[in-house]
């Protein structure tokens, strides 16, 4: 079995893991990262897309709020390309107690969340789809954060500093010797080959799966997967992050992210982060809550629904997972479980990923007996050097002034043939879903109706696939898109899905492809 020698092995390719790999590599450690699937396919790839101002936690979780304030400012400076500066609003709807607004203001001021009360008239002018019955509104620096860009930039930075990033490498076992974790045995899911990795320190950054990984070293880490569903609406019903000004609960945030707006979320404790069922009751709850913020929400077009699992860590049992602190915890298993060379970083949220990574790598430094300072709060991520925020109109502007001068493969998200090929070339994809995460293929209204065939044809040609592999790519991607569309299929999206059926099953007859 081939062996890979390294100093720091990071398990988990979400925002935390990617952040840890970057930080460790920047501090000069030989670093490797393994992730069982494609990068950002865990919680990070399924989160709401919100860069918190801290407002949500200002009243009930001031520690978390303060963290958000600091990290929000840092990420705006260092990860600008991954962020759209939408701004945020907390609004008191007809169903909310306007008095809570005063508590909200107090909490924000106490925790340092920049806040300003704004007039309802001005708010409605800025956001004409909001319910005109709102009574108060407060502006905060929420923003939307693209998780794939973020993770991609972190791993790119890590690679630039010498790290080895290994997606599709599943951890089979952690190797223990004399009460110390010395590495892991992983399986390359793309070709079935096993790889032995030797490391001085293993950092478990596997989020909602942290308990499963920790148990491979005989450590009990009680991570509560807290399932939350989110619904992407076809267009930006609001252009600002809109929160309900009330104690946090379900369905009280709408985030405009890229070309869609996302409403979320729910909170249900589940046993297995890989078994996340979306129920009709949850969907109805989200739609009803959406209707309170945006009248006509139920008539608007819903694209798809998905669920993510929050990694909630608490040593004690709690009733409502929402009461668990949303700050993070670093567990040094030597101190806690008598297992050396092993650290778990758990809890937290994407907004504070960088701080989590800093603390995890600090713990690793301590273990290794070295003192290397973190610089990720200063160094911009690749692509964010000019501190220019992502701009919604960028892809349209890129096709101007002669929009017909490039072939556009995915029209909904304006992906050119060149862009698609670059994305394929940069990372040999296992299928079209990997490509989707790079460039947002099939993430628009038609959910691949027009672009899946084109992308398959291009993949077939560029990767010299045989017909079986190409057919599998097409069919698998159709199934993948269907998974998120099917539970919430009605109205305009049903029209689209039916047209797509006519194209794939009728016109192309993909149900009858040769074996």
Partner 1 sequence: MNEARPRLAPASYDAVVIGAGLAGLTAALRLAEEGQRVAVLAKGVGATHLAPATIDVLGYDDGPVDSPARALPEFANANPQHPYRRLSINLIRASLDWFKSRLCDHGYRGGLDQNFLVPTAVGVAKPTALVPETMAAADLRQGGRFLFVGFRGLKDFFPAYLADNLARAPLPGGASVTTRVAELSPPLGLARDVSAAGFARRFEQADFRESVLVELGRHLMPGEIVGFPAVLGLDRAREVWQELEIRLGHPVFEVPTLPPSVPGLRLYETMTGALRREGARLVVGTTVAGAEGSGNRLEGVVAHNAGRPLTYRANSFVLATGGFASGGLQLDSSGKVREPVFDLPVAGLPGPDEPRFEQGYFDEHAISRAGVAVDASSRPIDSEGAPVYENLHAVGATLGGAVPWREASGNGLSLASGYAAASAILEVTS
Partner 2 sequence: MTELVRDSLDHCVKCTICESFCPYSQATPLFPGPKYVGPQAERFRRTGISPDISVDYCSGCGICTQVCPHGVKIAEINSQARAQLWEERGIPLRNQLIARPSVLGRLGTPVAPLANWTLRNRVLRRLGERLLGIHRDASLPRFAGRTFQRWARKHVSPAAERTVVYFHACGTNYYEPAVGRMTVEVLEHNGFHVVVPPQDCCGLPLQSNGNFPAARAYVRRLAANLAPYAREGCAIVSNSTSCGLMLKREAREILEVEDEDVVVVSDAMYDLCEFLLMLHECGELRTDFAPLELTVPYHAPCQQQGHGIGKPALDLFALVPGLRAIELDADCCGIAGTYGLKKEKYEISMTVGERLFGQLRASNGDLAACDSETCRWQIEHGADIHAVHPVELLHRAYGLGAAA
Instruction: Considering only the stretches 141-149, 206-214, 271-279, 441-449, report the one whose residues sit in contact with partner 2 under the rule CB under 8 A.
Output: 441-449
Select the binding partner of residue 511 from partner 1, partner 2, none (C-beta < 5 to 8 A, by kind): partner 1
CA–CA separation, 191 and 166 (whole Å):
13
Site mask for partner 1 (CB under 8 A), range 443-482, x = bound: -------x--xx-xxx-xx----xx--xx--x---xx--x
Query: Measured from the CB of residue 413, what is the shortest distance to partner 1 in angstroms?
Result: 15
Tell whether residue 300 is a contact of partner 2 (CB under 8 A).
yes
User: Which residues in 130-282 belong to E strands, given as ranges?
Assistant: 136-140, 143-145, 164-167, 169-177, 180-188, 194-198, 201-204, 223-233, 241-244, 253-257, 260-264, 268-269
Select the binding partner of residue 502 from partner 2, partner 1, none (C-beta < 5 to 8 A, by kind): partner 1
Tell whether residue 49 is a contact of partner 2 (CB under 8 A).
no
Using CB atoms within 10 Å of the CB of residue 43, give its burial: 0 to 12 exposed, 13 to 18 middle, 19+ buried.
buried
Tell whether residue 296 is a contact of partner 2 (CB under 8 A).
yes
CA–CA separation, 478 and 410 (whole Å):
15
CA–CA separation, 424 and 431 (whole Å):
10
Select the binding partner of residue 460 from partner 2, partner 1, none (C-beta < 5 to 8 A, by kind): partner 1
CA–CA separation, 509 and 515 (whole Å):
14
CA–CA separation, 81 and 88 (whole Å):
18
Tell whether residue 329 is a contact of partner 2 (CB under 8 A).
no
Q: What are phi and psi of 8, to 5 degrees?
A: -115, 125
CA–CA separation, 12 and 290 (whole Å):
33
| Closer by beta carbon to partner 2, 248 or else 491 | 491
Q: How far is CA 459 from CA 37, 437, 508, in A?
A: 20, 15, 17
Sheet of strand 3-5, all strands in order from the earlier edge strand to the far edge: 3-5, 194-198, 180-188, 169-177
Q: Are 74 and 354 in contact (CB under 8 A)?
A: yes
The sign of the CA dihedral 469, 446, 39, 163 is: positive
Other Cβ atoms within 10 Å of 469 Cβ, number: 14
| Closer by beta carbon to partner 2, 270 or else 392 | 392
Tell whether residue 486 is a contact of partner 1 (CB under 8 A).
yes
Tell whether residue 446 is a contact of partner 2 (CB under 8 A).
yes
Tell whether residue 506 is a contact of partner 2 (CB under 8 A).
no
* 409, 428, 441, 447: which one binds partner 1 (CB under 8 A): 409
Q: What is the largest CA-CA distance in the chain?
A: 68
User: What is the DSSP-derived secondary structure letter of residue 86?
Assistant: -
Tell whether residue 405 is a contact of partner 2 (CB under 8 A).
yes
Tell whether residue 450 is a contact of partner 2 (CB under 8 A).
yes
Instruction: Considering only the stretches 35-43, 159-167, 324-332, 409-417, report the one whose residues sit in contact with partner 2 under the rule CB under 8 A.
Output: 409-417
Instruction: Considering only the stretches 108-116, 171-179, 342-350, 397-405, report the one whose residues sit in contact with partner 2 under the rule CB under 8 A.
Output: 397-405
| Closer by beta carbon to partner 1, 132 or else 506 | 506
Tell whether residue 496 is a contact of partner 2 (CB under 8 A).
yes
CA–CA separation, 159 and 164 (whole Å):
6
| Closer by beta carbon to partner 1, 176 or else 499 | 499
Query: Measured from the CB of residue 513, what is the shortest distance to partner 2 in angstroms?
Result: 24
Point out which residues bind partner 1 (CB under 8 A): 284, 287, 298-299, 302, 402, 404-409, 417, 450, 453-454, 456-458, 460-461, 466-467, 470-471, 474, 478-479, 482-483, 486, 489-491, 494-495, 498-499, 501-503, 505-515
Point out which residues bind partner 2 (CB under 8 A): 128-129, 234-236, 239, 259-260, 295-296, 300-301, 391-397, 399-405, 411-412, 414, 444-446, 449-450, 492, 495-496, 499
């Amino acid at each position: 079995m081939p062996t890979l020698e390294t100093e720091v092995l990071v398990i988990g390719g979400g925002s935390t893991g990617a952040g840890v790999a970057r930080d460790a590599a920047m501090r000069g450690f030989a670093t490797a990262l393994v992730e069982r699937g494609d990068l950002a396919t865990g919680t990070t790839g399924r989160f709401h897309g919100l860069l918190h101002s801290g407002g949500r936690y200002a009243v009930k979780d001031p520690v978390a709020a303060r963290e958000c304030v600091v990290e929000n400012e840092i990420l705006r400076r260092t990860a600008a390309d991954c962020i759209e500066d939408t701004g945020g609003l907390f609004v008191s709807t007809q169903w909310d107690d306007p008095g809570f607004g005063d508590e909200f203001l107090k909490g924000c001021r106490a925790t340092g969340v920049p806040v300003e009360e704004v007039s309802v008239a001005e708010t409605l002018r800025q956001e004409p789809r909001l319910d005109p019955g709102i009574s108060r509104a407060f502006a905060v620096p929420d923003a939307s954060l693209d998780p794939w860009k973020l993770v991609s930039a972190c791993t790119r930075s890590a690679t630039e500093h010498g790290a080895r990033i290994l997606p599709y490498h599943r951890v089979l076992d952690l190797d223990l010797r004399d009460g110390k974790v010395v590495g892991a045995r992983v399986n390359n899911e793309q070709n079935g080959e096993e790889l032995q990795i030797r490391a001085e320190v293993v950092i478990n950054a596997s989020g909602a799966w942290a308990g499963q990984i920790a148990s491979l070293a005989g450590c009990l880490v009680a991570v509560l997967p807290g399932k939350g569903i989110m619904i992407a609406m076809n267009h930006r019903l609001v252009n600002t992050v809109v929160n309900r000004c009330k104690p946090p609960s379900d369905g009280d945030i709408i985030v405009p992210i890229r070309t869609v707006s996302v409403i979320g979320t729910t909170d249900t404790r589940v046993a297995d982060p890989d078994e996340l069922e979306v129920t009709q009751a949850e969907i109805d709850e989200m739609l009803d809550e959406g209707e309170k913020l945006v009248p006509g929400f139920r008539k608007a077009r819903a694209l798809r629904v998905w669920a993510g699992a929050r990694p909630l860590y608490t040593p004690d049992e709690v009733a409502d997972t929402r009461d668990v602190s949303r700050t993070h915890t670093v567990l040094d298993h030597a101190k806690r479980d008598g297992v050396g060379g092993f650290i778990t970083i758990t809890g937290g949220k994407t907004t504070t990923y960088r701080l989590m990574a800093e603390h995890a790598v600090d713990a690793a430094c301590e273990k290794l007996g070295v003192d290397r300072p973190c610089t990720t709060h200063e160094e911009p991520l690749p692509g964010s050097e000019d501190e220019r925020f992502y701009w919604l109109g960028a892809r349209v502007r890129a096709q101007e002034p002669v929009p017909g001068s490039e072939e556009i493969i995915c029209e909904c998200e304006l992906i050119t043939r060149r862009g698609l090929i670059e994305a394929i070339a940069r990372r040999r994809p296992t299928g079209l879903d990997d490509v989707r995460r790079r460039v947002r293929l099939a993430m628009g209204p038609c959910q691949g109706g027009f672009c899946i065939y084109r992308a398959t044809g291009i993949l077939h040609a560029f990767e010299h696939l045989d017909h079986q592999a190409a057919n599998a790519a097409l069919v698998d991607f159709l199934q993948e898109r269907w998974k998120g569309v099917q539970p919430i299929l009605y109205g305009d999206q049903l029209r689209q899905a039916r047209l797509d059926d006519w194209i794939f099953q009728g016109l192309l007859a993909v149900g009858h492809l040769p074996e």
